[in-house]
Amino acid sequence: MTDGPLDGLTIVELASDLAGAAAGQIMTDEGATVIKIEPPGGDPLRRADGSRLFQTLNRGKHSVVLDFYGATSVASREELGRLLARADAVIASWPRAQRDAAGADYPAVRARNPAIVYVSLCPFGERGEWAERPSNALVMQAISGLMGAEGKTADGVPTPLVATDMTGRSAGILAALGVSAGLFFRERTGIGQKIDISELAVAAFLQTGRTAEIPAADSRLRNPARDNVRALRAAGASYAAQHAARQAGLPIAFGPFYRGFVTADGAVFVGALSRGLRDRARRAFGTTLLHRDDPRWDPNDAAFVAECRAEEARIEQRFRAAPSAHWVQRCEAENVPVGAVAFPEDLASSPQAIANDYFVPVPDDTARPQQQAAPFIRFGRFPAPSPAGAPTLGEN
């Protein structure tokens, strides 16, 4: 357990998904005691992918095994009831039927512990046709529009995002916020409550620039493209046709000033988003290409576009001819935002991560320390946290 602002608080975690587990992890990183209730076979993530994900998401927690469906179901419900009666908060992301089977729906919990903070994660919300449907990261990526918007395909078939479970982790952070907000309110008033969060709504907010509708901004490109896609669907057109129609509604993004470049020994990303920054990038790249700053700028003029692309190809060649360090130095000398592209596996040895103590040793289940990403909030009143390892199944 770590010493932190939530020291002394007990939180019961009823989660077999990533969002609930992530919320519980943020709570242990902040000093709370988190009791994760697992089924007899253990949390599903224990079995997946060498369980690095399980180990990082569940560091510092306690594990209690309860079985609400078998021979010990009555005793299990009683045990959970006792834990909930003493808890300060609950993170509940089990499906409704599972909460009911465990006697862990909010009315039942509140009856025994009226001041409890009950944070409820329902992936599709509490109402509507999808409310009881099963969710997971792939399903959420698809229905939320993230996968379609990312536009990765293999042979014309959409493929998922893989770098991180954006919506699961974001919902987890907000659930942790819900616990803290409920605790703050309770400290002021003595009153507990239920706080609801839906991963699908969170996903819509992550893409608010695309999901929001502001006619002054959207009437020229976004809305006509949206209407075209609808018309194509109504006519039974293919996914490929719909995707192409959507692309037509996006601002054109080409040019050498906000993109990645291959270098002699890796890759860099340059981000010049204003006229001033683009002028400095021109000096760094050794180009006079004006691109969108050219008074002749016209993305529909094929000859103009071809001219721009030809110069961009020459810039690409220049990048390939020198190492990443050379280009980072050139861009930094001109104050152009730039970064060398790193692989996740290399971050623990990056000077920037080391200088800021962004990795912390955590025992794994063989008591050999791993270096894990450190708790992402540093509270000045408390020493830097040193998280304990993830629990073995039912160890508490």
Partner 1 sequence: MNGVLEGIHVVELSQIIAAPVAGQILADLGADVLKIEPPGGESWRLQAPIAPTESKSYQCLNRGKHNLTLDLTRPEATRIVHRLVEDADVVLINYRPDVPARFGIDWATLSRVNPALVYVDLTAFGRRGPSALRPGYDGIVQAVSGLMAGEGKLRPDGAPAAIASAAIADFATGMVLAQAVVTALYHRECTGEGQLVECSLLATALWLQSAEVTTPATSPSQLAPEGATYAELVQRRAAAAPAVDAHRRVYLTSDGAIVIAVDSADQRRAAAALVGTTEEAIAARMMGGTNDEWLERLAATAIPAAPVLFPEDLSGHQQFAANDWFVTLEHEVTGTQSQVGPLLRCSAVDAPPPRPAPPLGRDTDAVLRALGYRDDEIAHLAERGVIGER
Footprint (CB under 8 A) of partner 1, residues 315-354? 316, 332, 337-348, 350-354
Q: Is 83 left (phi over 0), alpha (psi -120 to 50) or beta?
A: alpha
Is 266 among the residues that bind partner 1 (CB under 8 A)? Answer: yes
Q: Which of residues 88-117 bind partner 1 (CB under 8 A)?
A: none
* CA atoms of 203 and 168, how far apart (whole Å): 9
Q: Residue 316 burial by CB count (10 A; 0-12/13-18/19+): exposed, middle or buried? A: middle
Nearer to partner 1, 77 or 277 (CB): 277
Reduced to 3 states (helix: H, G, I; strand: E, B; else coil), residue 268 is: strand
Q: Per rule CB under 8 A, is residue 135 in the interface with partner 1?
A: yes
Q: Which is nearer to partner 1, 91 or 183 (CB)?
A: 183
173 touching partner 1, by CB under 8 A: yes
Q: What distance in Å separates the CA atoms of residue 35 and residue 92, rounded to the nearest whole number? A: 12
Window of 79-87, 127-135, 288-296, 299-307 that interacts with partner 1 by CB under 8 A: 127-135
Choosing from 2, 33, 55, 93, the residue that interacts with partner 1 (CB under 8 A) is 55
Instruction: Answer yes or no whether residue 395 interacts with partner 1 by CB under 8 A.
Output: no
Q: Does position 304 bind partner 1 by CB under 8 A?
A: no
Rule CB under 8 A: say whether 301 interacts with partner 1. no
- Name the amino acid, one letter, at 253: A
What single letter denotes the amino acid at residue 315?
A: I
Q: Which of 57, 65, 59, 61 is nearest to 33 (CA)?
A: 61
Q: Among 68-76, 79-87, 158-166, 293-301, which window interacts with partner 1 (CB under 8 A)?
A: 158-166
State which amino acid sits at residue 27. M
Q: Enter the DSSP assignment of 324.
A: H
Task: Please report whether residue 289 would count as binding partner 1 according to CB under 8 A.
Answer: no
Two tokens at 176?
């942790």
Whichever of 239 and 304 has its CB closer to partner 1, that residue is 239
CB within 8 A of 129, min separation 6: which ones? Answer: none
Between residue 12 and residue 51, which ones bind partner 1 under the rule CB under 8 A? Answer: 26, 30, 44, 49
Q: Restricting to residues 176-235, which ones interact with partner 1 according to CB under 8 A? A: 176-178, 180-185, 187-189, 191-198, 200-202, 204-218, 222, 225-226, 229, 233
Backbone angles phi and psi of 89, in degrees to 5: -155, 160
Size of the site for partner 1 (CB under 8 A): 150
